Amino acid sequence: MATQEQVRTILITGATGGLGSALALECAGRGARVVLLDRKRRPLEALCGQIEALGAPAPGYVEADLSQVGPEGLSDLVTGLVEAYGGIDALVHCAARFQALRPLDQVPPEEWLLDLQVNLNAAWLLTVYCLPSLRERRGKIAFVTDPDAEASAYWGSYGVSKGALRSLAAILRDELETSGCEVLVIEPGPLRTDLRAAAYLGEDPESVPEPAAAAHRIADALLAVST
C-alpha cells in the first residue's frame, strides 16, 4: 500500500455508475484515495464499503446532483475537497445523463437542458474550479467520450453534449500544454452499463464487456507518473 506521502487523490463524478464504480475500485486498489461524487447516498456508501474492504486509503464521497448544483455550489464543493484532502491530483468525468434515443425535434426542452447541464456544463465548471490544484500538483483531467453517440442520429442532447465535451477537452489540452497538467480523452468503447442498456434495448448484455477492463486501462493512464 502506498504511503501517505504517495497517496494521490482522484475525484470521480458519476462514481456509482458502471464505469465510475469500476474505476474507483481499480484506483483505490492501487493505493489512490478516491473521492466519489454521485446523486444518491446509499449507493455511495455501499461503494465506500467495497473500497474500505480492499484496505485502500479511506475514500470520501459527495452526494450531489450535477443537474441541480450551480456554479457557487460547485465552487464551494471543490474548495471543501481541497481543504479536506490537501489538493486534487486527478479529476475524472464519468457522470453522464441519457434518457432515450429520439429525434431532435422530439427531445423535451427540460431534458435537453438537464443533459447539457450534467454532461457538459458541470464538467466545465468542476474542471475550472479544480484547475488551481491540478496545476499545482501536475494533475490529470479525464473526459469520458462516446464516439458512437457524437453527431449520430437519435442520440439527441446526449450526443450533442458528448461532442461538445470532446471539443472542450481539445481546447483545454491546447491551453494547458505547458502547464504540467495533462488532459486525457477516454474512449472506453461499448460497456455493460445501465446507460447502454437504455439505448440498446434488444442487445444481449452478455455480448458487451464489463467495465473492469476499461477501468484498468484508465487507471494506468491516471496513475502513470507525468514527465
Measured on CA atoms in the order 7, 12, 17, 22, is the torsion positive or negative? negative
The domains located in the chain, with CATH, are 4-223 (3.40.50.720)
Length of the chain equals 227
Residue 2 pLDDT class (50, 70, 90 cuts): very low
pLDDT of residue 3: 37
CA distances from 13 to 21, 49, 108, 118, 156 (A): 10, 18, 25, 10, 22
pLDDT of residue 226: 62
Q: What's the rounded Cα separation, in Å, for the pair 118 and 52? A: 28
Residue 151 pLDDT class (50, 70, 90 cuts): confident
- Give the model confidence (pLDDT) of 43-59 as tens digits: 999 999 999 999 999 99
CA distances from 95 to 11, 179, 184, 203 (A): 11, 26, 16, 23
- Give the model confidence (pLDDT) of 71-124 as tens digits: 999 999 999 999 999 999 999 999 999 999 999 999 999 999 999 999 999 999
